[in-house]
């Protein structure tokens, strides 16, 4: 991984590819490179560092109307110039860019070395260039097919060959690829963001699919036998401006502030005030199907996993059926028992998270029913699932998820409400929750309006080397998400605990240098939570308390952050918004690159 861009047409390819790579910087990367194919054959420029530095270092007259480029997130070998993509064969006539991991690369590298090939990098990707070059096939498509027959792993790749200057061949297995259609010019990308300024007419490749891309158009085929799949392009409804930060200093800030609007978007047309329920036609499940569900299992990674825990709590409370969330990255490795009356829910902003996609495939392989909660229409998980709920959050560019996470919670609230109302949830409770959901966008706006009061608190937290985030029951997954945000963009160690577990070990670490961020809503556990705050305060542990205005903290010394109350089942998402702001302002105070935290990528497409 992490980003691929390709162009073939009438323009000079390098500037188009570089601009596309710039638009993929949010995915996280440590080196970049570009190869152009022109009258002098293939020329390659690559280096560790940012796309801007690569552009500054391009040789003069680096011209050609066909080009491929890449931003690399290191897997095999460190971030160095020689490990950057594109990779070429010994003759320099084949160039390859690749997202994913070739699992049998060590064996293939040994075979190539034994055959006398001098490998120039530490990467798994380089073997692809040599395998393509060594094929005896008469076409570039045949050469790529031969290479793919011997590799095991995941890939989204683009290949150019000096002997076939009129085309780019691309292939997908577990890593996304999009073909964009222009006017006598074509584009290739791993993410629509790279090409949306040029075209919104696209075809998304499926796993096991290959495409030949020329200036005149594209054709698709299967890897295995090059038989046609006949895929055509379609128009996607998206505004290129949605991928710009505009007046905001970072995408994360823009996306935090968009949450009142995006929350309205996911709820629009889905609430039924008359019957106190939700309508989710995309699930493709009628009332009889919903009543047949005896358990719900939610699968996600990172923030999607934590919001899945919030969703599981909602489903248990409202529908009174067992529900739990599990890290998708672990799910398939334990040979899970797939039950016919369990509804599996896969959660992913991009819809391309490889661990979640593989978990879905495991469920489907064993005959289970899986629906998706995703933000990207036509993504791999959306296509793999039996039905789903689109999040309608719009493009999310920052690595740290904010508006998509909020819409995931609301998606779970809608699902829980619909499941509850076909069971024993009363119409009165249904109407209460519908009214609460309708209030949420305005209440999120209220929380955001108090941002200025959080800045100094965030700065004080940024100075700590380690922090605790604590919450109980509904609040615990919120605490986990808060710790996640703080870790990933401020680089401070943060750990989440159930408030009730403090005295079973973690309290030993409380001292004046270890702050605690505590979630204390006004609910049936308020007094117990305040008791835990007294224990921290007695040990001079600094406290930040996110709570409701009605909660009396007494004499406890704490920075207090109030959020408006909603229905108790819906309060967790309002408690989450201040945690986003605290992490954002802490990272800003420390001078970090907020949108592109080190070592992380927006869409994790390798295991």
Q: Which two tokens stand for residue 40?
A: 């002098």
The full 3-state SS of 77-120, as one line of letters, equals CCCCCCCCCCEECCCCCEEEEEECCECCHHHHHHHHHHCCCCCC
Q: Evaluate the omega torsion of the peptide bond into residue 451 and state whether it is cis, within 30 degrees of 0.
A: no
CA-nearest of 407, 393, 332 to 368 is: 332
- 505 burial via Cβ count (<10 Å: 0-12, 13-18, 19+): exposed
DSSP 478-520: HHHHHHHHHHHHH--EEEEEEGGGGGGTGGGG-STT--EEEEE
CA-nearest of 85, 91, 81 to 130 is: 91
The whole-angstrom separation of Cα 244 and Cα 227 is: 39
Q: Which two tokens stand for residue 38?
A: 């022109």
Q: Which two tokens stand for residue 568?
A: 């108790």
The catalytic residues are 2, 602
The whole-angstrom separation of Cα 571 and Cα 412 is: 13
Report the DSSP beta bridge partners of residue 157. 98, 171
Cα–Cα distances in angstroms (integers) from residue 448 to residues 2, 219, 579, 580, in the given order: 33, 48, 11, 10
DSSP 194-205: GTTTT--EEEEP
CA-nearest of 282, 289, 270 to 372 is: 282
Strands laid side by side in the 493-498 sheet? 493-498, 466-471, 516-520, 543-547, 559-562
Task: Report helix, strand or coil for 17.
Answer: helix
The whole-angstrom separation of Cα 594 and Cα 26 is: 10
Task: Report helix, strand or coil for 129.
Answer: helix
Q: State the residue for tokens 């949010």.
A: 26
Cα–Cα distances in angstroms (integers) from residue 511 to residues 253, 314, 494, 532, 542, in the given order: 32, 35, 15, 14, 8
Do the beta carbons of residue 100 and residue 2 sit within 8 Å?
no
């Amino acid at each position: 991984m992490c980003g691929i861009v390709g162009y073939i047409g009438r323009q000079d390819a390098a500037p188009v590819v570089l601009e596309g790579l710039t638009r993929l910087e949010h995915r996280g990367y440590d080196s970049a490179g570009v190869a152009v194919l022109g009258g002098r054959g293939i020329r390659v420029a690559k280096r560790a560092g940012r796309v801007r530095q690569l552009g500054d270092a391009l040789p003069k007259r680096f011209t050609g109307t066909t080009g491929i480029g890449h931003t690399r997130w290191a897997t095999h070998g460190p971030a160095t110039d020689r490990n950057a993509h594109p990779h070429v064969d010994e003759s320099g006539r084949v160039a390859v860019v690749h997202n994913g991991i070739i699992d049998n690369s060590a064996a293939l590298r040994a075979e190539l070395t034994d055959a006398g090939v001098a490998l120039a990098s530490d990467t798994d990707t380089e073997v692809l260039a040599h395998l393509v070059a060594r094929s005896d096939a008469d076409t570039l498509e045949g050469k790529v097919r031969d290479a793919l027959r011997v590799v095991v792993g995941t890939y989204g790749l683009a290949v150019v060959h000096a002997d076939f200057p009129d085309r780019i061949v691309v292939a997908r297995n577990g890593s996304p690829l999009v073909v964009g259609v222009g006017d006598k010019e074509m584009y290739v990308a791993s993410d629509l963001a790279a090409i949306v300024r040029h075209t919104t007419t696209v075809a998304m490749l499926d796993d096991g699919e290959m495409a030949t891309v020329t200036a005149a158009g594209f054709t698709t085929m299967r890897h295995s036998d090059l038989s046609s799949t006949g895929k055509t392009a379609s128009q996607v409804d998206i505004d290129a401006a949605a991928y710009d930060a505009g007046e905001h200093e970072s995408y994360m800030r823009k996306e935090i502030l968009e949450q009142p609007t995006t929350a309205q978007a996911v709820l629009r047309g889905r609430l039924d005030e008359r019957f106190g329920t939700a309508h989710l036609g995309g699930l493709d499940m009628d009332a009889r199907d919903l009543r047949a569900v005896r358990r719900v299992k939610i699968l996600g990674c990172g923030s999607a996993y934590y919001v899945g825990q919030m969703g599981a709590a909602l489903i248990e409370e409202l529908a009174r059926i067992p529900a739990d969330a599990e890290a998708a990255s672990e799910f398939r490795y334990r040979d899970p028992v797939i039950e016919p009356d369990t509804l599996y829910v896969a959660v992913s902003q991009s819809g391309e998270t490889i661990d979640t996609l593989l978990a879905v495939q495991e469920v489907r392989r064993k005959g289970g029913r899986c629906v998706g909660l995703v933000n990207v229409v036509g993504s791999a998980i959306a296509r793999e699932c039996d039905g789903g709920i689109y999040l309608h959050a719009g493009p999310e560019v920052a690595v740290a998820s904010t508006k998509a996470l909020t819409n995931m919670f609301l998606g779970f609230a809608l699902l829980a409400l619909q499941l509850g109302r076909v069971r024993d949830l009363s119409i009165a409770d249904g109407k209460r929750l519908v009214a609460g959901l309708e209030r949420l966008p305005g209440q999120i706006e209220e929380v955001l309006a108090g941002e200025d009061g959080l800045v100094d608190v965030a700065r004080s937290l940024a100075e700590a080397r380690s922090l605790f985030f604590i919450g109980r029951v509904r609040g615990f997954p919120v605490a986990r998400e808060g710790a996640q945000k703080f870790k990933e963009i401020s680089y401070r160690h943060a750990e989440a605990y159930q408030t009730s577990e403090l005295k079973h070990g973690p309290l030993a670490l409380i001292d004046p240098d270890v702050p605690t961020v505590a979630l204390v809503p006004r609910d049936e556990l308020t007094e117990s939570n305040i008791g835990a705050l007294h224990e921290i305060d007695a040990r001079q542990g600094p406290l930040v308390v996110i709570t409701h205005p009605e909660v009396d903290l007494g004499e406890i010394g704490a920075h207090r952050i109030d959020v408006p109350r909603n229905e108790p089942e819906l309060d967790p998402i309002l408690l989450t918004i201040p945690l986003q702001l605290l992490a954002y302002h802490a990272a800003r105070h420390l001078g970090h690159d907020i949108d592109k935290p080190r070592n992380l990528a927006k869409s994790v497409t390798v295991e």
